Amino acid sequence: MLEFIKQIDIHILLWLNGSHNEFWDDIMWFASGKYTWLPFYALLILLLVLKFKRDAILMILLIALLITISDQLASGIFKPLFERLRPSHNPELEGQLHFVNNYRGGKFGFTSSHAANVFALAFYLTLLVGTKLKWLPFVLIPWAIFVSVSRVYLGVHYLSDILVPAILSIPIAWIVALLYNRYNPKLIKKYTYDVPKNN
């Protein structure tokens, strides 16, 4: 089974990475950039504040916890535990991959912290505000897929490197969303004061 998954991983990697051209190189490099999405995050936070006002305080604070958990699980636990070489560092694929700006990433790639973080955020906000902002999941989920696929295109991850954290991010997002639902009413009550009535 593991050998079968490995072959599927390599086949998809070589197909996607091998479909490169200058246009997609620029697009995928942009999608995978470390600071590319900062304006997007800022707009997202602004949206939450404008829509949910005081309720957004804990919601935003818990995003920091969410990303810390997902990132540490991917980079702090899985990568050193499994020590699976990235495609870009795999001797078996030497000379078969196209690298944009000679970017190869770190030594180990299972699992992708990019995928873990973007999917955790997408699922978390979908669970919390998906019913009130029904259009938001249709932005966040494709965005998470786009960012994750860019990692495979760039030759620094296999498909399974992004699928596993995408799946694992669901219970992580669910747990952090439960924390919000559990503690936010108390936070609101604590910092809300009765307005004196005019006699």
Question: Residues 1-27: pLDDT tens digits?
Answer: 778 888 999 999 999 999 999 999 999
| Amino acid letter, 126 | T
What percent of the chain stands above pLDDT 90? 85
Predicted TM-score (pTM) of this structure: 0.90
Q: Cβ(165)–Cβ(70) under 8 Å?
A: yes
Alpha helices in 19-158 (DSSP H): 22-31, 38-52, 56-71, 79-82, 113-129, 137-153
Instruction: For residue range 159-195, list pLDDT tens digits in order.
Output: 999 999 999 999 999 999 999 988 886 554 554 444 4
pLDDT tens column, 96-147: 999 999 999 999 999 999 999 999 999 999 999 998 999 999 999 999 999 9
- According to CATH, the topology of domain 2-190 is Vanadium-containing Chloroperoxidase; domain 1 (1.20.144)
Is the backbone peptide bond immediately before 111 cis, with ω within 30 degrees of 0? yes
